[in-house]
Amino acid sequence: MTYVVIENCIKCKYMDCVEVCPVDCFYEGENMLVIHPDECIDCGVCEPECPAEAIKPDTEPDLETWLGLNAEYAQLWPNVTIKREAAPDSKEFDGRPGKFDAFFSKEPGQGD
Residue-wise pLDDT tens digits, 80-105: 999 999 988 999 999 999 999 999 99
Tell me: the pLDDT tens digits for 28-70?
Answer: 999 999 999 999 999 999 999 999 999 999 999 999 999 999 9
Host domain of residue 37: 3-85
- What pLDDT does residue 87 have? 86
Residue 97 lies in a domain: no
Q: Is residue 10 part of a domain?
A: yes
* 89 DSSP assignment: T
Other CB atoms closer than 10 Å to residue 31's CB: what's the count? 19
Q: Count of domains in the chain?
A: 1
pTM of the entire predicted model: 0.95
Q: Are 10 and 99 in contact (CB under 8 A)?
A: yes
Q: Can you tell me whether residue 19 is helix, strand or coil?
A: helix
pLDDT at 1 (0 to 100): 76
Spatial separation of the C-alpha atoms in residues 33 and 74, rounded to whole Å: 9
Domain membership of residue 58 (yes or no) is yes
Checking if the pLDDT of 108 tops 90, the result is yes
